[in-house]
Amino acid sequence: MESLKINLSVEELAFVISPPGHIKSDVGVLKDDVHFLIGRPFDDMYTKAHVGLFKFNECAYFDDITQHVADAATRFDAFNIFLKDLTILYTGSTRMIAMNVLNKYPVREIFEKLVRKNDRYVPYISIASHLTPSDLLKAWPYLKDFTYSQHFTCDHIAVYARTGKQWTLFKEIPFGNN
């Protein structure tokens, strides 16, 4: 296993499920649409499409958490993730436009085996987060009837490392005994 101790500038790891390129492209187009509709950049405008599992920022334990995930992943089987349409998620005083993950249970099961049981964990792909109510009123009327249906095979966990504001793919951890 590669060691993160070599690169002391890594500040945080993100463990995610990463969809294939065509879905990332679709999400990118939707992000561009939101940018046009609200007339300003938004927080995750340049974030690549993903289903977030968890982030970890205790630098001294990067190798340990990565090994923990790799060990757990040997017991996961590949499955399909089904995506359907868009929804609004309420995040305190702000709003998020997100792509629905229809079969939440298998993703939630992975989350719970890696982190802990949490009934409030909801898997989704963010289109635009931290939108004000005003931003939402500008964008949602044009997106609420957007029809989307795709699926992809989830057979690994992608690990991204953050240095400053830049996230780069560190490794992919396959499911099963690969």
On whether the CB atoms of residues 175 and 76 are closer than 8 A, the answer is yes
Q: What tokens does 57 get?
A: 């920022």
pLDDT for residue 4: 47
Cα-Cα end-to-end distance for the chain: 14
What parts of the chain have a pLDDT lower than 50? 1, 4-6
- Listing DSSP states for 34-98 in one string gives HHHHHTS--TTTTPPP-EEEEEE--GGGHHHHHHHHHHHHTTPPPEEEEEEEEEEEEETTEEEEE
pLDDT for residue 2: 53
pLDDT for residue 99: 98
- Alpha carbons 103 and 110: distance in angstroms, whole number: 12
pLDDT for residue 56: 94
pTM of the model: 0.91
